[in-house]
Chains A and B, each alone.
Chain A
Amino acid sequence: MQLRTFPGGVHPHDEKHFSASAPITIAPLPAKVTIHLSQHIGAPSTPVVKVGDEVSKGQLIAEASGFVSLNQHASISGKVTAIDRFPHPCGTSSLAIQITGDGKDEWVDLVDEESFMELPVNEMKERIAAAGICGMGGAGFPTHVKLSPPADKPIDTVILNGVECEPFLTSDYRLMMEHAEDIIKGLKLIMKIVNAKKGVIGIEANKPDAIRLMEKLLKSESNLEVVGLKLRYPQGAEKQLIYAATKRKVPAGGLPMAVGVVVQNVGTAFAVYEAIRYKKPLIERIISITGEGIKKAQNLKARIGTSFAELVELCGGTSMTVGKIISGGPMMGFALPGLEAGMGKGSSGLVLLGEKAARSMEEHNCLRCARCVDVCPMNLLPSTIAAAVKYKNLDMAVKAGLNDCMKCGSCAYVCPAQIRLVQWIDTGKIRYAEAQKEGK
């Protein structure tokens, strides 16, 4: 098979061996969950329960506060014990609803529609919106929004993102191995919703069995295709994946729909399938608990809001002195100050690094070696942006591509001077936003 890819990018050690062979295990019921009102891009949800209310599993506890927003559901049945600031899986703290479980685990209502494929498109969209599904690869864009492109932007291709280019993470891989058929059904549903002719599943070459499995299942489908992709980070980034799979270039600042493409994570496709067929809200997901610091790396199917500490215990606890806890993958994930936070809808993994691996070196002077320029998948000048931000020259930073950066971290990964390019660029983006606000 011919492997495709995109220009730029890096090749970190994939480190998937920790958890790749661990089958999905269903985590036991947590005693307590904290469900954040902001697990997605867009306006935070508005709570519809009060402290003291009894809730059932799957019950709506916070509703979308606009079009680009999300419903949140109780992931266990029990009692609402607090609505307050709790640690968020991205390291900050924000408003969340805490539910203390009663152990009953009662569903609020669930159906099984055999003829789910024949439902009207609007009904499908409504079910997705009602289920509170957002992109499960990490960014967390509400799925019902993504699946409602304006009429003047026809979609011809749906790409399922099974790339999982982040090192360590294996949750999508396990999902593909164990629920391949459901994912394909999800893909077909998405294609129906956006009226696309073609469906593509992109998988990186380090998951050959997943590629084989998908190919076997799609043999009879003429409009569905598996695309094998070369091992390269950040292949899973939307624009890079689209380029690798279709050779189309999404204009800078534009959305995939500009080139007639919708990209969805395989996990999202699975959730879409469950939501449309069973009306099942998004209350659980697969998360990889992995890294050298964990005793027994696993892929857990856990309820949204389960605290990381509990998940780590389920995996036998830590095996060494942990230096760094990363929510998400090590390239773009967030380092956490502790394990108190509860997992969110976008939590694809938790990586525990040992002390030695966690320590990073001092920043040195920029050598201008241009490695960052060579690897930048967006074709920018990361070293120039970072230096311009450092010396408060915002104009120059913007000219060098400040606003086109997607913070994939490839530049900082290769920098021999250990310059924290991503953080500088991030700072620059904040400064830029401030300057824009001031200018207005």
Chain B
Amino acid sequence: MKDKYIVSSAPHVHDKTNVSMVMWNVVLALTPALAFAVYFWGIRSLTLTLLGAVSAVVTEALIQKMRKVPVTVNDGSAFLTGMLLSYNINPGAPWWMPIMGSVFAIAVGKQVFGGLGNNPVNPALLGRAFLLASWPSLMTSGWLKPKTGNLSGLNDLDAIASNLQSLSPKAYDLVTGATPLKVVQTLRDSSFVASINADAGEGIDLANRIFTNITEMASLKNLFWGNVGGCIGEVSAFALLLGAAYLLYKNIIEWRIPLFYIGTVFVLTFLFGPIQGSGYSMMLPFFHIFSGGLMLGAFFMATDYTTSPLTKNGRIIYAIGCGVLTVVIRLVGGYPEGVSYSILFMNVMTPLIDKFSAPKAFGRMK
């Protein structure tokens, strides 16, 4: 058919973006976070990330071979999934964690439904939820200390700690051995406050001191740069914002979801974030948006094309939903961090949101 002209349906010109370009650009945008992770925790974080990414690719290739469909691992989506999954893992986790997570994410989260574009929920988040449900203790303990700081990101930890060790060993363990969100969650727990000291007033007072300390400017700086304990890819808000800026510039992600997500968290934590005895503080919402996986979730996971709503209004509803759930889980839930579960939950709701936010055709009255 060499001598024949090509005939196809209009349009005959095409934008240059394609799937693999999108995926690899997201991978590129995620690398600054990895660089920070390597700086804080050493080469181990790189190894875990690569283990996750490579096993995701291998799993996808194997399943596609088995299903006798074209192997499409070049498009980068499996690599991205594996990478995002590893980003959600504690850098001190055993080496098989990212592998198990990636295999589950790709096999159950994606290939069961026929591969790219068909998955009902974000596979990386599903992988993380799977790991958390399967090995809860391994996933939530054994955090690595950043090279230049401490786990909770408290600015003057030494000053507070020396005081605490004698006062309440439980509180001491907390500020030296937990991630910032865990600290805040524990401080919100009245039973913990009561246990600090028989004298409840003193407990509240102490809790308040730690609370204000962890949400003050100097500690926030640690959070912003990532100088705290946490999962591989989520700690450095700065690095993630850098990548997000690139994606926004490249028009790969849209501003609605991150803005409304982070905005909702900001407003709600300002209103409901303070603990008993602490007043409203402009610092507290910043603490919440820089800590945990919010930046990673809002820019890189909630914006996942496949699992977010199609319409602009739908995306706003979706993002607000994510924000509300994140705050609910952080403030009253059983987990210190709610980003991944809230996005997962809203992923499940996406088809319904799509259904009820279907756009009105231009010029159509209702």
Contact = CB atoms under 8 A, between A and B. Distances in A.
Are A and B in direct contact (Cβ within 8 Å)? yes
Interface of A: 7-8, 10, 12-13, 91, 167, 239, 243, 249-252, 254, 322-326, 330-338, 351, 353, 357-361, 364-370, 373-374, 377-381, 383-384, 399-401, 404, 407, 409, 412-418, 420, 422-423, 426
A310 B48 CA distance: 66
Q: Which 4 A-B pairs have the closest CB atoms?
A: A409-B11, A423-B9, A365-B117, A369-B305
B10 A381 contact: no
B7 A379 contact: no
A416 B311 contact: no
Given A251-B364, A252-B362, A365-B116, A337 B13 contact: no
A322 B309 CA distance: 41
B21 interface: yes
Contacts of A413: 11, 13-15
Nearest to A323: B6
Which size bracket describes the interface of B in this complex? 35 or more
Nearest to B9: A423
Interface secondary structure of B, over-half rule? loop
B361 A380 contact: yes
B166 interface: no
8 contacts: A252-B362, A324-B7, A331-B10, A336-B7, A370-B308, A370-B311, A417-B117, A420-B8
Contact of B10 (A12, A378, A416, A422): A422
Contacts of B249: none
Given A167-B13, A368-B305, A360 B362 contact: no
Contacts of A364: 19, 72, 75, 116-117
A126 to B, nearest CB: 33
B169 interface: no
Nearest to A382: B310
A409 B5 contact: no
Contact of B5 (A335, A351, A374): A335
Interface in B347-365: 358-365
B18 interface: yes
**Candidate in B11, B72, B312, B359 with the most chain A CB atoms within 10 angstroms:** B11
B11 A330 contact: yes
Given A335-B5, A416-B22, A365 B114 contact: yes
B361 A404 contact: yes
Interface string B11-27: 11111011101100000
A377 to B, nearest CB: 7
A324 B362 contact: no
Contacts of A338: 5
Given A368-B310, A413-B13, A422-B10, A378 B5 contact: no
B178 to A, nearest CB: 38
B17 A324 contact: no
Contacts of B359: 373, 379-381
A332 B11 contact: yes
A412 B305 contact: no
B118 interface: yes
Given A252-B362, A360-B8, A414 B116 contact: no
Given A334-B10, A337-B7, A250 B363 contact: yes
Contact of A407 (B6, B10, B17): B10
Nearest to B22: A416
Contacts of A426: 9
Nearest to A423: B9
A91 B359 CA distance: 35
Contact of A379 (B19, B21, B118, B361): B361
